Structure 1
Amino acid sequence: FKVWNLRMYVALLMGIAIGIGISFLDPATENDNLWFVFFCGIISVSGMTLPGFSGSFILILLGNYVLLLVDSVNALFDTFYEIFSGDFSFIDNPIRIRMLKVLSVFTLGSLAGLVTFSHILNYVLHHFKNTTLSVLTGFIIGSLGMVWPWKKTIYKTTEDGSFLLDSVGGKVIENYKRFIPELNSETYIAIVFIVIGVCIVLLLDWYGRNSNDDYA
């Protein structure tokens, strides 16, 4: 940005606020309604096209990460395995058929979101480039909490206090609890690597700018 104006600063702050807000939202409960699954597909793939957002994290917030990326995918894998084995008994399995429907609708939603959102993003970048880039920069800054390295995983539990497991026996993630680390050797090493990562990004940006100037 060569010149920053008030509109760009406001857009930046809006992006930061949205990013922070999404980072600290509590996940919703699982919902296998097909219309909602279609909506999840649109939203998740839209998140993948925006820098600073994770489609998987959005699905966790929507409560359907396990349903869409674990259970339904496992159902598809099991179905292919049975088909190649000459076993078509899954046709009479209502749970399996339901999972395949869920995955199909999610895939359609993802395709619809990819096509639609890419056109929208292209339009706003073409007509409101600086403002859009300001918002995206705010997204990246505000969503840094998602990649905060010091956090404790919180798993979903049942009413009796035992861990809720997915179809492959893994614990279902509910959210993350972030904390300030103690100052020890491990923390210092992590900070050093963070600084190295920042320096690499700045060096790549500097190299890209100089390369463009050389070819200009």
Structure 2
Amino acid sequence: MSLPRLFSSRYLGVAARGMAMGAADVVPGVSGGTIAFITGIYQELLDSLSRIGPHCLTLLRRQGIAATWQYINGSFLLALFAGVLISIFSLARLIGYLLHDYPIVVWAFFFGLVLASAVPVLRGIPRWSLSVVLFLLVGIATAVLISELRPGQIPATPLTLFLSGSLAICAMILPGISGAFILLLIGIYPRVLDAVHQLQLFNLVCFAAGAATGLLLFSRLLSWLMHRYIARTLAFLAGILLGSLKIIWPWKLPLTGVVDAGDKLAPLMSNTSPSTFAAQTGDKAYLGAAVTAAIVAAALVLLVDAFGTARRKGEPGVPPQ
């Protein structure tokens, strides 16, 4: 892949989607997989990742770098993950500032985004049946049950860091479930942050190795499911999205036993109404700003989906849905 082609509008668009995924992943409670889904690259991401494996070494030896790069859709993956990294390192401070100073508005924006994201997912289900509805309900129940879990505490050993990385990356691929939120639940999120801030290279390598392993294995499973059981898989993913709304409800109060939860632990706080929030905390509920942010986010999702649908209809060999 030549550099001019790599910087074409196609891959610049992929990089922009990656930046949006990175911005979402900064917020515990919001999944980058959600962004991948609503921007129309979810299936391509899963298929590309599922092609990476030991057999690539054989292909590399027999046909060379160019053929292997094309086989794994390397330019797509490079552009996407470059966008994710750029976003994490450039937007993390801004997202952190907004989350600290305007948490309700930020959570409301993502609430609207996730809620609207369920629309194209549900519309993409090719056929409905009793089993599809059952998978939708199982998805909702799964996300709600995860939201009811309370933070644990595990030591940061090489094994736990490896397993935590695997678990977090699996959650990140699923639309609606945040990898950072899972790390919060098992109590290792602060230790991962410490490893990043203090450049604890060995701990970071253990965590990254687990994330890479989980990414390659879980993406292969999801890709297989999407190709063979698309209706049930989409229904389950839509259920995960809808159930995760409980996690990112904007107005929250601290849980009993969780002292000074702060913005990073917001998904682990209990939901309440805007009026109860204002009465018990003495802070503004920012209802108008929150509703506006949610509407803007939902409108953005639906516009992106409408644009993607119109473009797909215009492609040769793609029948209108």
Which has the larger displacement, 4-13 or 176-185? 176-185
> Which of the residues 208, 222, 236 maps onto 1:135?
236
Deviation string, structure 1 residues 135-158 (Cα, Å, up to 9, x no partner): 11111110112221112466955x
CA distances 1:85-140 after superposition (whole Å, capped 9, x unpaired): xxxxxxxxxxxxxx543322111111111111111111111111111111111111
Task: Name the counterpart of 2:147.
Answer: 23
1:12-161 correspondence runs (5 A): 12-68=136-192, 70-76=193-199, 99-152=200-253
Residue 75 (structure 1) shift: 2.5
Distance in 2 (alpha carbons) for counterparts of 1:120 and 1:101: 29
Counterpart of 1:202? 302
The answer to whether the Cα contact below 8 Å between 1:156 and 1:173 also exists between their aligned partners in 2 is: no
Distance 1:173 1:141 in 2: 21
Which consecutive aligned stretches of 4+ in structure 1 deviate over 6 angstroms post-superposition?
Answer: none
Are 2:177 and 1:177 equivalent residues in the alignment?
A: no
What amino acid is aligned across from residue 125 of structure 1 in structure 2? M
The answer as to whether partners of 1:156 and 1:171 remain within 8 angstroms in 2 is no
Deviations along 1:49-80, whole A, 9 cap, x unmatched? 11111111110001100011x2111231xxxx
Kept in 1: contact 2:126–2:231 (CA 8 A):
no
Report the secondary structure of 2:169's partner residue: helix
Comparing 139-148 with 32-41, greater Cα deviation is found at 32-41
Compared CA separation, residues 52 and 173, structure 1 to 2 (3 A) = closer
Which piece of structure 1 moves more, 101-110 or 126-135? 101-110
8 Å contact 2:170–2:214 — kept in the other structure?
A: yes
Identity of aligned residues (%): 31
For normalisation by structure 2, the TM-score amounts to 0.51
Of the structure 1 ranges 2-11 and 185-194, higher mean CA displacement relative to structure 2 is found in 185-194
**Residue type of the alignment partner of 2:269:** Y
AA at the equivalent of 1:75: Q
Cα distance between partner residues in 2 of 1:197 and 1:36: 36
CA 1:33 to 1:205, structure 2 compared with 1: closer, same or farther past 3 Å? same
Q: Once the 2 structures are TM-superposed, how far is the Cα of residue 192 of structure 1 from its aligned partner?
A: 2.7
Structure 1, unmatched stretches of 5+, are 77-98, 158-162, 165-169
Structure of larger gyration radius: 1
CA root-mean-square deviation: 2.7
Structure 1 residues 74 and 16: alpha-carbon distance in aligned structure 2, compared to 1, 3 A threshold: same
Aligned residues: 183
TM-score after normalising by structure 1: 0.74
Query: How far apart are the structure 2 equivalents of 1:11 and 1:21?
Result: 15
After TM superposition, give the deviation of residue 33 of structure 1 in Å.
3.2
For the residues of structure 2 that align with 1:152 and 1:47, how far apart are their CA atoms?
A: 25
